[in-house]
Amino acid sequence: MSIGNSPEDERPFPDVTEEARTSVGRALKQARMEAGLTVDDVSTATRVRIAIVHAIEADDFAPCGGDVYARGHIRTLAKAVRLDPAPLLAQFDTERGGRPAPTPAAPLFEAERIRPERRGPNWTAAMVAAIVAVVGFVGFTAFKGGDDGTARDQVAGGTPTVDKSAAPTPKKSKPADQKPEPSDSAIAAAPQDKVTVQVSAVDGRSWISAKDHNGRMLFDGLLKKGESKTFQDSSKINLILGDAGAIQLYVNGKKIEDDFQPGAVERLTYTKGDPEVG
């Protein structure tokens, strides 16, 4: 026994309970102080608010917002003060009645999956589809309408071109070569350096044949009543008339006055200059 010391002074440890020596908050606080850190230092390093650090060191975990968040703060603070967080977390779980059960993943997943299905109707997609349908219908109608739609537009605009659809028929009904008698201007236009022969079927139809000076066939066929043919060569035109009485001839712009008989076959040759019957 030591002289001058009471029996209490010989105890190997201070007179503190086992619970006080091993509390989570006390262990974190002692480690912080041994590391030479203030509460502000720990709060800055861990981003845990100063009030929560003070509360945890006092074993008050209510400000943490729940056991799950308290365990996270204990782990963060233990690492900041260089303590192994595993024993502290085990002690905390024992004191709180066991480790909190993890939040089931299925309900959270279901909530996230169901939420997008409750969206309202997609009006933008509906409007785009309607516009596409209208444009397609208009294009089909315009293509299908063809000339009828063009004619209606011309009538509405007051343009006189609507009658052009029927114009080709009357124009073709009166070709220039069907005139039995050529005009004075046509006769005067006959070139002087060539031989020009015009054959007109004025009194009926007739088969005719025409060749140039080289014997090349210019025409060989039936000339109907009212039709005309004009042939031209540099020096000579040879004709065969199947029914000369139905034919009227103009040679180099001058009318041939020969008295051809109906049904008579005539073989004729005309050259430049005055008409000559061969």
**89 and 74 in contact (C-beta within 8 Å)?**
yes
Continuous H helices in 158-217: 168-172, 184-188
Per-residue pLDDT of the chain (278 residues; tens, 9 = 90+): 444 554 445 554 444 454 445 699 999 999 999 999 999 999 999 999 999 999 999 999 999 999 999 999 999 999 999 999 999 999 999 888 766 555 454 444 444 444 555 566 677 888 888 898 888 887 777 766 655 545 444 444 444 454 545 445 555 555 544 544 554 444 556 677 898 989 999 888 898 999 998 999 999 999 899 999 999 998 899 989 889 888 988 988 888 887 888 888 989 898 977 665 44
Q: Under 8 Å CB-to-CB from 259, ≥6 apart: which residues?
A: none
DSSP-derived secondary structure letter, 260: P
pLDDT at 148: 53
pLDDT at 77: 94
pLDDT at 278: 42
Whichever domain contains 18, its CATH number is: 1.10.260.40
Closest CA to 30 of 57, 51, 49: 57
pLDDT at 134: 86
Please report whether residue 211 resides in a domain: yes
pLDDT at 276: 56
37-49 b/e (C-beta count within 10 Å ≥ 16 → b): beeeebbeebebe
Please report whether residue 68 resides in a domain: yes
End residue of a domain, out of 95, 121, 149: 95
End residue of a domain, out of 95, 111, 144: 95
Task: For 98-146, give the secondary structure using H, E and C.
Answer: CCCCCCCHHHHHHHHHHHHHHCCCCHHHHHHHHHHHHHHHHHHHHHHHC
213 burial level (CB within 10 Å; 0-12, 13-18, 19+): middle
End residue of a domain, out of 95, 129, 147: 95
pLDDT, tens digit (0-9, with 9 covering 90-100), for 8-31: 455 544 444 544 456 999 999 999
pLDDT at 163: 52
pLDDT, tens digit (0-9, with 9 covering 90-100), for 222-256: 989 999 999 999 889 998 988 988 898 898 888 88
Domain count of the chain?
A: 2
Contacts for 216-224: CB closer than 8 Å, 24+ residues apart: 223/199, 223/247
Q: Residue 184: which domain range?
A: 176-271
Report helix, strand or coil for 172. helix
Please report whether residue 222 resides in a domain: yes
69: phi then psi, degrees, rounded to nearest 5: -70, -35
Q: Under 8 Å CB-to-CB from 263, ≥6 apart: which residues?
A: 243, 245
Whichever domain contains 213, its CATH number is: 2.60.40
